[in-house]
Structure formats: structure tokens, C-alpha cells
A and B are shown apart, each in its own frame.
Chain A
Amino acid sequence: MTIPWLTVLGVVPLLGALVVALLPRTRPTAAGESAGALPKQVALGISLVVLALTAYVALQYDVDGGMQFTEQYRWITAFGAYYAVGLDGLGLVLVVLTAILTPVVILASWNDADFGRWSVNSFFAWMLALEGLSIGVFIATDVFLFYVLFEATLVPIYFLIGGFGGVRRSYAATKFLLYSLFGGLLMLASVIGLYVVSSDAETGPTYLLSELSQLPIDETTGRWLFLGFFIAFAIKAPMWPVHTWLPDAASEGTPGTSVLLVSVLDKIGTFAMIRFCLGIFPEASVWATPVVVTLAIVSIIYGALLAIGQNDIRRLIAYTSVSHFGFIVLGIFVMNSQGLVGSTLYMFNHGLSTAALFLVTGFLISRHGSKLISDYSGVEKAAPVLAGVFLLAGLSSLSLPGLSPFVSEFLVIVGTFNYSVIAGVLAATGVVWAAIYILLMYQRTMTGPTPVTLSSTPDLDVREIVALAPVLLLIVVLGLFPKPALDVINPAVATTLEQVGTTDPEPAVPASAVEGAQE
């Protein structure tokens, strides 16, 4: 009997969550003391086991093998729903990202939950539950299963934000949940529509991605259903103008929560655009391209401009993410291989760079309790390692060549130029804005005179460095040598583009490409 690796990957963290939740409750007895370490150690151990399992699966993965490790069982016959999972290049990239970031976040959040509303156990249990459900989302190859897991991820993150965040956590958590439910319920209408379409077709009621992608859907129906899916994913991603929940949620949660939210959960939105919007509704996706590209460019510029104006470090990072998600969506909807490969890689790289940025600023904020840029100055003299890591994370966020986000951002911009020169020029300005908001933040917090209050800022300790090291290492390594990631992504992108039915324009004659894409 073969081991169902993907199911194991999803189930291990969920069981781990249960174990952590059932461990004896620990609470710190006095201020300044840290809570018992058992739940944290168990959670970290389980997340490392998941990482090891993921590494094994990734090594077994055949880059040209298409969808693999597939499992398929009937689940709800009356609904045509299957328990169907499988892994392709796109899914693998995001599963790996999730598996890497979860232990990093658990280690980085070691003491963050000590004085939360609830016990330390629940904090780490929700994190593991979130990891399991997220992996489930990335491996689901059945629309119904995907929808169920997509909605289920809301519960852990809701309680993570609401239970362990800042002062306005309740507001932020509720806002996040209501936005997401709104999108999710719109998507439910489309999911139901898919059922009806498929039950009228020869296949009979089915939610299998493999069958739905072959389904003839008439033009009008397809466009309506596409809209339901796309709006849900746009809220998730988040794109302008439905992004407003993100700054609140990302700034009120603990740094670890924000990392999981922005680096992993929000990727579900862009992941699902490729997997479901392009996969099931290729015609409607091409039809929507002009609007989506416009919205994406607005997101890039709007997010960046607002980031420049922020005084709250966490909100600033949240707005940079809005801008970066604009790039990802742009790359997806320019419908050529450079854009799509760039976007897929961007998801991974953005996950890393944002995680580094959230965590290192989280460490800074935890030292002085203020999230405001204006409260800091000259920290680099007191805490040089912290400042150095901050600079590296910031430079990766602004896509400095040599660091991994550069590769992906470059590919997206190239893809955009192939689609339309104007769009390409506008998107390229994002690079300039990014330099402004990152460097300004660095300059205002790290350089300059060090006030007395900040002069004794402790530098990063061993735990913090160990948590950040793998992320920073990956940023540098993938920046210099992105080939392994690209090898995984390329075949998956080729398959998707085949479904959409677009072919790459000849790079040598961009003029014809513009015409071709504008038909």
C-alpha cells in the first residue's frame, strides 16, 4: 500500500493542533516571566515534522510529472464532491512556503501569546490548524473541497487575531471575517452554479477540477460564475478597492499571525486565481483581463503611495503587501508565461520577504511597545544586528537585484510589457515607490541620533536570529540561483496557459504582442 503523502501532510498539523490544545494549560505566573514551554516545544516539533515531510514530498516530486501524489475518493455523492488532492508545481511552491514559514513563525512568536486573552496552548494550536488547512487548500483538486477548506481557514485566523492581538483586535478580526465571508458567500453562489452547469453536461454533477476544466460552459454563464470566484479571491488577495481589511488585521494581530495571514493565507487568493479562474473559466478570464490589469496597477500604485504615508510600521508593511499583490495579480492576468511564472515565484518570494519584514519589525516593536516610526531613531547603533536584518528584509521587499524578489518582479514587469507598454511602464514605477517607502522607513527608524531611551535597545537574541536565518538565507540563495524554483513552476505554468489557450507573443516583436493581447 502506498502512503497517501498529501493527506498525511494535511492531517499531521491538524492532529498536532489537537494535541497542543489538549496539553495542560500554562499561563505565566508573574509579569515578565514566560509561560511553560511544553506547548510551544510540541508545536515547534510538529511543524518541523511537517517540514520534513514536505521536504520528502518535494524531493520525490517529478518536475515534468504534472499533477502527482493524487488521491481521489467520493465524498458527498449527492453534491458530486470528491476528496481529491494532488500536487503540481504551483501547489508545491505554496505548500513548501507554508511548511517553511510555520516553524519560523512559531519560533519567532515564542513569547507573544503569554499574555493573550487565552492560553498559550490555543495560540499554537490555532497556528498548526491553520497550517493544516492551508496545505489542504493548496493541494485540493476538487472545487467543493477547496471551498470548504478555503472557508475553514477563516476560523483559526479569526481567533488568532481576535485573541492575541493589539488593542483593536476584536474590530480587526471581525472586519476581516466579514469581508472574507462576503467574498466566500459570493463564491458559494458560483460554486452552486458550477454544480448546475456540470449536472446538465455529460459528466453529471462533479466538482473535480480535471473534469470541470474540460466542461463546455456557455459564455454568459461562465462570465457570471467567474465573477463570483474572482471577487472572493480579490478580497482574499487583497486587491484595491477591497483591501481595507488588511491594514487593520495585519497591524492588530501578533507579528506571527500577520506573517501567516499575509504570507500564506492571502496567497490562497492569487493561487486560486490561477488554479480556478484561469483553469475553469479561461474564456471569462481573458475577457476580464483589461479590468483586472487596471485594478492590479491601481493596487500597485495606491498601496505604495499609502505605504509611504504611514507612520505605523505594521500598517506600512500591510500596504506594501497590497502593492506587491498588485504585481502578482498583474502577472497572472497578462496571460503570458513570463508574467505567470513571475507571479508564481513572486508568491513564494513575497512570502519570504514579508515574513522577514514583519518578524524583524515585530522584534523591534516588542522591545519598546510602539508601532510608530516617529518613536524610533538611530536604533542601528544600539542594535546593529537587528538593523542589518531589517535592511536586508527591506531591500528584498524593494526587489534589490541579487535578492530573490527581484527575479520575480522582473519577470512580471517583462510579462506586462509584452502585454501592454503603458501597463508595463506604470507597473515599473512600483519599483521606485518601493524604494521610497522602504528606505524612508529604514532611515527614520535606524539611522540618525540615538535618543537615550533607545540607546539600550537589546540586539536580537539567539532565538530570534535562528528564526529569521532560514528565511534570509532563502532570500539570498534564490536571488542568486532561482533555477530550482523555476524548474518546478515552468511546467505548471505551461499547462495553465495551454488551458487558457494563449500563446506567448514573440518577444522580438512587442508591437504585435500588444495587438494580439488586445483583441
Chain B
Amino acid sequence: MVLAAEIQAPSIGYSNLSPLLIVASVALLGVVVEGFAPRHLRYPIQTVLSIVGLVVAFVATIMVAGRLPEVGGGAARGVVEAEGAIAVDGPSIFIWGLLLVLSLLGVLTFAERRLEAGVTAFAGQASALPGTEAEREASTKGLEHTEVFPLMLFAVAGMMLFAASNDLLTMFVALEVLSLPLYLLCGLARRRRLLSQEAAMKYFLLGAYSSAFFVFGIALLYGFSGSMSLAGIDTAIASRTSGDALLLTGIGMVAVGLLFKIGAAPFHAWTPDVYQGAPTAVTGFMAACTKIAAFGALLRLFYVGLGGVTWDWQPMIWVVAILTMAIGSVLALTQTDMKRLLAYSSIAHAGFILVGFVGAQSVAQAGDGITSLQAVLFYLVTYGYTTLGAFALVTVVRDSAGEATHLSRWAGLGKSSPLVAGVMALFMLAFLGLPLTSGFTGKWAVFTAAWSGGAEALVVIGVLASVVTAFVYIRVIVLMFFSDPVGDGPTVVAPSVLTVIAVAVGVVATVVLGVLPDPVLNLARDAGEFIR
């Protein structure tokens, strides 16, 4: 706001927003390609366009990062652009970079064609009803929906905006921009289409419902503070004399919208169904990137806008974190489907991240120690790569009906495909948090931030939840290595280099972040605080 006062004319700050604008423009360009390019050229054009667009956006992000001015005596870096709507600060840049890299890996898994014998894993023609002549015709013709690439880029643009939005209205618009393409993508599976469409429907209905809560919360917060901007709300909170009811109800309702996106209990119910039904490439992308963007927005809203009432929302987050860890870890125990198991595990991990969030340790409070923002950002990095890699790996274990996601089909995989089983075991150990994997360093960071913030009890609960999740992940390892295959057993189809890259990056990140996490941790620390 200090900067905004000096500016005479309406200013957008195109150069600082360039990463966001590049992704959005490439998405629009993709739509144009759909309209004008001949059908057989769309796949290569879209793939190359998406990859190039994301790479250019990533380079732009680095350039923006290099010229961000310091504010607040070095505790933070950044500028508020677009008339106060978007905060381009350290955490935004960090999340943008992370989102772009993970989306790039996501594009690779989207573009995988070898697993389905020459076509992508998306429905040939989404409008053809499952089981009809039209569907058979579409699949014999080898039709593909290449719209998935621009759709995904729109989602990425929405996520980038979501994590950087500096007022509630922008945040809401971003929420919708990221959600709508995802609803659509979820329903586009080539196999098990009814399940996929059901998932899309559930996601859409519940998502719309939670958006309504979010908007209502915005209205109440506006009613309380008379401002949409996070800084304005913060000022209003600091100078409040009354109006707690509006404020607290508003916080609660806004939180519902955000916690829904994160997949935190009790707003997690959509996660397993959607993760299971959606095409696995979409699930991986969604599980990693949506969570990152939503945590970015959650932290910004609560630390910047609602930082003055930390004492009021902390107990709520305590309860949500405990519930989330408990439900995620315990229900993961009972799952028999790999994708559902990973879905519940992602719920449990959302709980662990909430533990890191709840301590609310700022740079000033933490001193030399680890800050909450640093811990959460770092955890998101570790979690993102491992999750994307794990879901990419799920796509290669197949039988005649497509992906063999039932756990029993994974029995004995260690014997027939030691490499796939070994990599999956590594991901499982990382989710479990075994030392020398990224899962451990991530968990260490969030638990430490929580303990420093006075949430020792939550750390102990988190540790106990980790013990429960250990059962889950060990069960998968036991199944793969110590059980004998049932029937013919699963077959591992050799994927193209695209999926291999996605998995390989996941493996490398899991190991490197586990052994030498310092560079990324420092990067997360240098990101500094949110600006307002």
C-alpha cells in the first residue's frame, strides 16, 4: 500500500506479473490451436506449446525473483501489483516456481501415449455416452481430447493467482479459475468413464458448495472491515472495538472454502472419490499442485489478513489438523485401492502441513530457527514431487482393463518388476517419513515449526499419526515384496520417456531433498515473509 500511494495512474505491473500472464496467454493460444490446427497436428503442437510456455514462465519467474525490492528492513521482498490485487513477493515467487516445475512434469504425464497404445489417457470424445456406438467410433478413430493441455494451463494460471492474491475478491476469482478446468479434467478418463464422470460431478457439486461458503465468508469479512484487501482487513482487526461475530463467522466460512481445496477434514470427503475416478495424470497434478496453491492462499490469508487474531483461529486449526491427521491415517488403513490409499495419505499429509501452519512462527519470533512459512513451503516441495512421481508410477501398472489400481493386483510386483516396486517402495518410505528421504526432512521442518510455536502436543499427535500411516505404507511394501502374485499378476507396461522423466524427477527430488535439503530450505527462508 505504501507503494500504491506513490503511483499516479492505474498500474498493472506487467513485467512482474509476466509468469502469470505467460501461462494464461499460452492457455488462450492453446484454445486457438484447437480451433484452427488440423486434428492430427493438435497433439504435438499442444504438447510443445505447453512445455515451452511453462519453461518460459519459469524463466520469467526467476527473472522477477532477481529484481524484487526488499521491504520491511529485509524481512520480506516484493511488490504489490495490479492496484493492490496481486502480491508478487518471495513466497509467491517460490510457489510459482514450484507450481511451474510440477506442472511441467504434469504435462509430461498428460502427454503420455504409449500406455494406451498410441492415444492419451483422456476420453476420445467426452460427449459420447459411455457404452454407446459413438464412443466405440471415437475410440476406433483414435480421437483424443487435446483440450486437456489448455485446460490444465488455465488451472495453473488460476493456482498461481490464488497463491499470490492480495485481496479476497482476486482470491475468489482465482479459486474459480483453478477449479473449473479441474472439474472438467476429472471427468475425462478414457477408461472407467462412469466412475470418472461421477468423480467430476461430485467434485463440482461439493466444490461449488464450498465456493459458496467462501463467498459468504468474504461478504462477512467485508462487512466487518469495509475492505476486500488483506491489508485492509488486518488494519480493521487491529483497530476493532466490536464486531467479533461478523469477523469470526467470516473467518470460519472463508476457512471452509480453503480447507476444502486442501482436503482437510471434515471437508475431505470428496478426495478419495475424485482421486480415484479422475484420470491418474490429472490426479497426480491435482494432488500436488492444488494443495500447493491452496496452502499458499491459506497461509497468506491467515498470516497477513488475519494475523491479528491468531489466537482466535489457532484453536480451530488445531482441531482441524488433529481431525485431518486422524481421519487420513486411520481410513488409509482400510483402503484396498492404490489411488484411494494415496488419496487418504494426501489427507494425512494435509494434516501434517496444517501442524506446521498452526505454529505461526514469523521471522522475528523464530530468530535463527525455522519459520512456519519456510517449513510449510519446504514441505510442499517435498510432498509435491513425491506425490506426482507416485501417481505417475500408478499409471504403468496395468492389466487388460487399464490401470490395475486394486491393491491385490500389486502383490508380488517386487518379483516381476523390481525397479517399479523399488521406486514405489522409495515413495512409500518417503511418505512415511523415513530418514534420508524428503518426507523425513519435510516432516521434521513442519513439526519443528509447530513445536517452536508452542504446539508440542500437536507434534506428539502428529508423530502418533505418522505411526499409523506407517502401517499403511508398510502394507504396500509387504504386498509388493513379500506376497505372491494373485493369478496372472499385474504387468508393468513400459511407458514412454515422458512418464519416465516424471518418475525420475520424483525419485531424484525425494532422495536429494532427503540427503541435502539445505539449498531448498535456504530458498524457502530467503523467500522471506508475505508482504501486504
Is A504 an interface residue when CB atoms closer than 8 A count as contact? Answer: no
Known contacts A78-B525, A170-B483, A196-B369; is A177 also within 8 Å of B474 by CB? yes
Which residues of B148-172 are within 8 A (CB) of A?
none
Q: How far is the CA of A465 from the CA of B436 in the complex (A)?
A: 39
Q: How far is the CA of A59 from the CA of B185 in the complex (A)?
A: 67
Q: Are A205 and B369 in contact (CB-based, < 8 A)?
A: yes
Q: Are A188 and B463 in contact (CB-based, < 8 A)?
A: yes
How many A-B pairs with Cβ below 8 Å?
106
Binds A, one of B41-49, B57-65, B234-242, B452-460: B452-460
Is A195 an interface residue when CB atoms closer than 8 A count as contact? Answer: yes
Number of interface residues of B (CB under 8 A): 41
Closest residue of chain B to A177, judged by CB? B474
Binds B, one of A145-153, A211-219, A389-397: A145-153
A residues less than 8 Å from B459 (CB atoms): 189, 192
Which residues of A151-201 are within 8 A (CB) of B?
151-152, 154-155, 159, 162-163, 169-170, 173-174, 177-178, 181-182, 185-186, 188-189, 191-193, 195-196, 199
A residues less than 8 Å from B393 (CB atoms): none
Q: Are A189 and B447 in contact (CB-based, < 8 A)?
A: yes
B residues less than 8 Å from A192 (CB atoms): 444, 447-448, 451, 459
The 8 A CB mask of B389-433 against A (1 = contact, 0 = none) is 000000000000000000000000001000000000000010011
Is B521 an interface residue when CB atoms closer than 8 A count as contact? Answer: yes
Interface of A is mostly: helix
Which residues of A254-308 are within 8 A (CB) of B?
none
Is B435 an interface residue when CB atoms closer than 8 A count as contact? Answer: yes
Q: Are A78 and B451 in contact (CB-based, < 8 A)?
A: no
Q: Are B463 and A186 in contact (CB-based, < 8 A)?
A: yes
Report the minimal beta-carbon distance from A254 to chain B, rounded to whole angstroms.
15
Report the minimal beta-carbon distance from B353 to chain A, rounded to whole angstroms.
16
Is B267 an interface residue when CB atoms closer than 8 A count as contact? Answer: no
Is A76 an interface residue when CB atoms closer than 8 A count as contact? Answer: yes
Q: How far is the CA of A154 from the CA of B367 in the complex (A)?
A: 35
Which residues of A71-92 are within 8 A (CB) of B?
75-79
A residues less than 8 Å from B467 (CB atoms): 178, 181-182, 185
B residues less than 8 Å from A188 (CB atoms): 433, 443-444, 447, 463, 466
Q: Are A178 and B470 in contact (CB-based, < 8 A)?
A: yes
Q: Are B441 and A76 in contact (CB-based, < 8 A)?
A: yes
Which residues of B508-532 are within 8 A (CB) of A?
516-518, 521-522, 525
Is B1 an interface residue when CB atoms closer than 8 A count as contact? Answer: no
Report the minimal beta-carbon distance from B392 to chain A, rounded to whole angstroms.
23
Q: Are A199 and B367 in contact (CB-based, < 8 A)?
A: yes
A residues less than 8 Å from B456 (CB atoms): 193
Closest residue of chain A to B471, judged by CB? A178
Q: Are B521 and A181 in contact (CB-based, < 8 A)?
A: no
Is A204 an interface residue when CB atoms closer than 8 A count as contact? Answer: yes
Q: Are B448 and A196 in contact (CB-based, < 8 A)?
A: yes
Q: How far is the CA of A186 from the CA of B461 in the complex (A)?
A: 10
Q: How far is the CA of A177 from the CA of B428 in the complex (A)?
A: 14
Q: How far is the CA of A195 from the CA of B459 in the complex (A)?
A: 13
A residues less than 8 Å from B435 (CB atoms): 147-149, 151-152
Is A368 an interface residue when CB atoms closer than 8 A count as contact? Answer: no
Report the minimal beta-carbon distance from A91 to chain B, rounded to whole angstroms.
20
Is A463 an interface residue when CB atoms closer than 8 A count as contact? Answer: no
Closest residue of chain B to A224, judged by CB? B456
Q: How far is the CA of A149 from the CA of B436 in the complex (A)?
A: 9
Is B209 an interface residue when CB atoms closer than 8 A count as contact? Answer: no
Q: Are A170 and B482 in contact (CB-based, < 8 A)?
A: yes
Known contacts A162-B481, A205-B368; is A189 also within 8 Å of B463 by CB? yes
Sort A-B residue pairs by CB-CB distance and give the 7 closest, nearest first: A148-B435, A170-B482, A78-B521, A199-B369, A151-B435, A181-B470, A189-B463
Other contacts beyond A78-B522, A195-B451: 9, CB < 8 A: A77-B518, A79-B444, A148-B436, A178-B471, A185-B463, A185-B470, A191-B444, A199-B368, A199-B369
28 CB-based A-B contacts, threshold 8 Å: A77-B521, A78-B370, A78-B517, A78-B521, A78-B522, A79-B444, A79-B448, A154-B434, A155-B434, A162-B478, A162-B481, A169-B482, A170-B478, A173-B482, A174-B474, A177-B470, A177-B474, A181-B467, A182-B467, A185-B433, A185-B467, A189-B460, A192-B451, A192-B459, A195-B448, A199-B369, A204-B368, A205-B369
